[in-house]
């Protein structure tokens, strides 16, 4: 551990790399994966000139954003219940 990380660790009891990091729920993770897959399909479709693949990629990206937003909402509700 470097000196600055040790100082952060000893003063707060947490490793500096984990401060402010929250775990992602299943919908957030799956939404991010769908967005990445969609971006790959979209780019591949553009490169090879396949409009159908490009459109499928765009739709998949949007579906991923919706799923991630749903996961964000679930996470926010869970946080609110804790308080």
The domain ranges of the chain are 24-82
pLDDT at position 82: 81
Residue with tokens 């775990």: 23
48-63 average pLDDT score: 98
Return the closest-CA partner of residue 56 out of 39, 70, 81, 73.
Answer: 39
pLDDT at position 80: 87
Of 83 and 33, the one with more pLDDT: 33
Return the closest-CA partner of residue 66 out of 37, 23, 43, 35.
Answer: 35
Residue with tokens 């219940």: 81
Q: For residue 10, give the 3-state DSSP assignment.
A: helix
Instruction: Tell me the whole-structure pTM to 2 decimals.
Output: 0.69
Q: What's the rounded Cα separation, in Å, for the pair 35 and 32?
A: 5
């Amino acid at each position: 551990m470097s000196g600055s990380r040790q100082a952060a660790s000893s003063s707060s009891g947490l490793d500096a790399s984990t401060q402010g990091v929250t775990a992602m729920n299943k919908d957030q993770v799956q939404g991010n994966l769908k967005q990445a897959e969609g971006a790959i399909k979209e780019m591949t479709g553009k490169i090879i000139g396949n409009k159908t693949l490009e459109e499928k990629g765009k739709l998949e990206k949007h579906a991923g954003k919706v799923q991630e937003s749903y996961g964000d909402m679930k996470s926010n509700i869970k946080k609110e219940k804790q308080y």
